[in-house]
Structure 1
Amino acid sequence: MNRKKTGVRAKDAALRYQAGFERGYEQGLAQGREAFGRPFHGTSIVIPSYNQLDYLSRCIDSIETHTAEPYEIIVVDNGSTDGTEAYLNRKAGRLRYKRLETNRGFAGGVNQGLMMAKGDTIVILNNDTLVTGGWLTHMLRCLESDPRIGAVGPVTNYISGEQQIPVPYNDVEQMWEFAAAFSRPDASKWRQTDRIVGFCVLFRKELLERVGYFDEGFRVGNYEDDDWMIRIRLCGLKLVIAGDAFIHHFGSVSMKNLGRERFETVQGYNERYYAEKWGNPHAWVEEARQLGYRGADGEAEPCGSPADFFPTQVLIRDQGGRQYVLCEGKKHPCSGMEEKAGIRSVVLSRLDLRSIPAAEAPMGEQEMLALLRPAEGGLSDGQIVSCGDGTVYQWRQGSVRPFVSDYALKRWNLKERNIVHLPPEKLRLIPRGLPIIAPPVLENPVL
């Protein structure tokens, strides 16, 4: 009898425990869902990583030691096989991480981290770096000094371009001594530049709404940061080097591990892709600067969204298959238009699509079809025009907008549209609008 009562009590206790566990789980799940979209008033530090556990752990240690401001660390593991996942599991209470099954390269890893970031500001940081005292303090001070600053980068011992400075040390121990003396707030060391290298870059989260994600068409690494910086500058925003913020950079560790032959293959591919995509990017930045986005003081004003540099009268969709007609900077929802119009849609990120305002008035199917197939033989909105000088334009409301490259024309699936040829002397008299750029290639289905 006693054994029977004991068994009943044990069963009741087990049921109560299970019920309590389920209530706790549901409450935790609800709280997690509620907190997921809650902004974080601090800086999200995004670190893409692949098979460099020793460098990664030292980088994270340096952040925890030398960062005074509120921050969160987000590590994106690009399918490492060196114990990185186990390390991140052990650190799970002090950082957030995402493991990708395959190596999606620097751009793919960064994009995943950007999607996860909750901070008001974001830092993209290489795993082969060591941050030093005051690094984030000085960079944030620089960023907050001017709303027209799009991105800020530090100085370092090892990088290409203007951010490299001479240093007196020969090893990491000496580096800490140098950095302690170097790290003094000094706005006179801030300087505007045309290029910030992506080994460490700080920006406001709202910048993503204007520029979008990194282009995953670049392989492994290199040039995707240059591409992103050009897009920032096209928007009328500044790039600034915070010369009072120092970070030690071991230097291109992941790229060096590719081996010389594969490194040269990747480097060559990315260089060609960048050139094919942009042609002369600095000329397009200057043209956009001359065309507009100017405030009362004559300084460039930032553009509103990536759609300012997208064409009109094209079919777009997200990676879930929802279709829209993009017309005059507005999106019109539609369905089945690929088959009806006999054209291919262009895949954009959900981030880019969210930044494009929705049309206020609905558009009928026949009107959409007419927009996507401009009448041949004349100048109507959406028509592709050229004078045979190598540049192709889109006609829009009495002006022409140049495609920055033939790649951009193909990327928007407009290569097959008939071209209206104009005499050069006539084309020169037509007002020019903002250049049309190619949207980034995206491999991640959730972006």
Structure 2
Amino acid sequence: MKIRLRPPDTIAWRIAMTVGAAIIGVLILSAILSQFTGPTAREVAGLDRADDTVRMIDAASAIDRPRLAGAVDIFSNKAEWYTATSPTSRLLAAAKPRDASPHLVKWFWIDGRQLRSVLFDLNDPLSDAVRFDRSKHPDAFFLAVQLRDSSWLVFIGMHRDWEGPQPTQIVIALGFVALSILAASVLATYFLSKPIRRFAEELRRIGGDPRAGPVHETGPRELRAAIAAFNALQAQLRTFVEDRTVMLAAMSHDLRTPLTKIRLRGEFIEDEDQRARLFRDVDDLQAMADSALSFFRDDYKDEEATVFDLAGLLRTIADDYGDHGKPVVYMGPNRFAFSGRPFAFRRACMNLVDNALKYGYCAQLELNCSMAEIIVEVSDEGPGIPPHALNQVFTPFFRLEQSRNRATGGMGLGLTSARAVIQAHGGDITLRNRQGGGLVARITMPLVS
């Protein structure tokens, strides 16, 4: 039996991996930075490798020291020995820890003895007393160690990878650390938020359609649990809608028999006026049942989304009404590609245009597009709607008593159906009265890439 060690894919584990990646990044960059440090750090690090040479030359006689120093090939490319009475030794001995010159005086311990050392580079006047070829080695730096007899051994580094005063080194080191943490945080945030962004895109795609397929379960364990709960809720809503549709279809079918019987019995009523009123009531009941069934079936959601020319669709609507002598005009761009359900969107716009023609005598279709959304406005020149009823008219079977009642046609489902279509596209419809008279139905839909 194979045992597979697989880390748990949870948000907590991803955050832990993020912190670990940031720490590893800091360590790696710190290691890289240590290879490019200036003389202050590199020379101190080289003292441990130079101690054997210092011991050897310190124990040798004055005659052998120049030859031994010339054979040095460790921390530096070259070494020079200066007697205690030489001008170089006197300058090095006079160097003070708090001197304003750019050198650093430290103590060098060997076998329990404390030896004086000086770190400096070409910018320090001390470098003028050291014997080496300046033209060939413009980046040289120096480590000088005082021996027991007050003579000095000077190690000469011929090449320095990186140069800068200590404050600059600190700033750059902190910058490296900050950049590594920032890079790890940005990458971790991107990968952590990617499944959440995908989940949000899936929600925008399905909109308010309970018949849409389930959302694909991806991402950390907690997010997958949330998606699974959402899919379960969506399945319950889908079952509820289907049961509701079946119930309404059965009611509509069962209503046809008693309505037909009422119509047949109405034929025996001798009073023509009463008979006409009865038939009108029967027709209204039948129309209400059929309208309700058509609305609750949500037929527009069975249409597949596709890319279509929205401007061309609106222009076609205006031309069709114009061919029948109805005053409908279109204003906007000649072409605009939009992803949605063209037939459903056409029915929604025609419902708004029908209302504008029925109650406002004319209709104007206007399309405005931006980088984030599209706006379609249907305007008329009618009496408008009372302010308190601007939202109520979207309620199923709601009708205004005066200007928009059953006598003028409609069952109060046109605006409700239109809003349902637009909301399925991720948008919404709002109504407002125009200054000077008229009503404007404003459709706003986001542009989803």
In which range does the TM-score fall when normalised by the shorter chain? Answer: under 0.3
Q: Which has the higher contact order (CA 8 A, sep 6+)?
A: 1
Q: Which has the higher strand share?
A: 1
